[in-house]
Amino acid sequence: MKVKVPELNDENVVVVQSTYSPQEKNLFELLLTCHELSRRKAKITAVIPYLAYARQNRSFTSGEAVSVDMVLDMLHAAGVRRLITVNPHKSDALAYFKGKAGIVDASKTLARAVMGQLDEPFVLAPDKGGLNLAKNAASVIKCEYTHIEKIRDNYGNVSIKKAHGGGFKGKDVIIFDDVISTGGTIALAARYAYAEGATSVCAAAVHLLMADEAYNRMKTVGVVKLFGANTIPFEKAEIADISSDIAEFIDHEKKEYD
């Protein structure tokens, strides 16, 4: 790979690169770009709408590499002094970064894309971790929300214990999550919502990674429509443009860069 950066006419540079699949290629391209810009004395803000490896923020089993820490180290070594990303799975995943890190919340813009498309909306978070996202979305859509409590057995199988305060009968349930990878989490929640009397089930996630058979897995259980943000391209979903959220965030924090 060979990267060539343009002549700079300002020392403040914002580099935008999302690091979805092929993540190593996208990441390396970003590193080369930032490294060259930093050699030219640029003050670099990297906007990485989808930050690869952010979900691997600890060793889940002994010996597993904490991948996000290595990614953050590499970005800093390449000259990134400010990093902005969108709804990482856990915000403390960025705590390790040696520069400044900022998080853009796309949940309200995503919710605006859904708004008006459902007759009896009801927002559902597929686990407790998704509660904030669901709460934000419900405040925009102006509807009720709840979350599902999952249990994991000794063999790692996940099943649903119950939904808190949820009466899904006659509702058009919209499941909100930060990311859809295999689609398994959404499929489980959708099956539950239908079993509890939902009229229809849609899904919305900030990052549509859509690995494996994710789309079909969700379609099979009756997910009617899919919404996502443009942090990762995916043509089978209705996509909300979150670039203004990022631009506003940069504007708002501008003083910090100067």
Residues acting as catalytic residues: 150
- Number of residues this chain uses to bind ligand R5P (CB under 6 A): 14
Contact residue for ligand R5P among 130, 145, 168, 172 (CB under 6 A): 130
Contact residue for ligand R5P among 17, 67, 181, 199 (CB under 6 A): 181
The conformational region for residue 204 under phi > 0 = left, psi -120 to 50 = alpha, else beta, is beta
- Between 67 and 199, CB nearer to ligand R5P: 67
* Complete edge-to-edge strand list for the sheet that includes strand 145-152: 158-163, 145-152, 121-125, 172-180, 200-208, 223-229, 238-240
Compute the distance between CA of residue 130 and CA of residue 242 in angstroms, rounded to an integer: 19
Minimum CB separation from ligand R5P for residue 127, in Å? 5
Per-position DSSP letters for 35-78, written without gaps between them: HHHHHTT-EEEEEESS-TTTT--S-SSTT---HHHHHHHHHHHT
Let me know how many helices (H) and strands (E) the chain has, helices first: 8, 11
Minimum CB separation from ligand R5P for residue 134, in Å? 11
- Between 141 and 179, CB nearer to ligand R5P: 179
Minimum CB separation from ligand R5P for residue 212, in Å? 8
Q: Does 144 bind ligand R5P (CB under 6 A)?
A: no
Q: Does 88 bind ligand R5P (CB under 6 A)?
A: no
Compute the distance between CA of residue 90 and CA of residue 56 in angstroms, rounded to an integer: 10
| Site for ligand R5P, residues 149 to 178, rule: CB under 6 A | 177-178
Q: Torsion angle, CA of 112/117/122/126, rounded to 10 degrees?
A: -70
Q: Does 222 bind ligand R5P (CB under 6 A)?
A: no
Contact residue for ligand R5P among 182, 222, 224, 225 (CB under 6 A): 182
Q: Does 67 bind ligand R5P (CB under 6 A)?
A: no
| Site for ligand R5P, residues 89 to 118, rule: CB under 6 A | 89
Q: Does 135 bind ligand R5P (CB under 6 A)?
A: no
First to last CA, the chain: 33
- Between 33 and 56, CB nearer to ligand R5P: 56
Helix 131-141 × helix 107-114 angle, to 10°: 50
Compute the distance between CA of residue 45 and CA of residue 24 in angstroms, rounded to an integer: 20
Binding site for ligand R5P (CB under 6 A): 89, 126-127, 129-130, 177-185
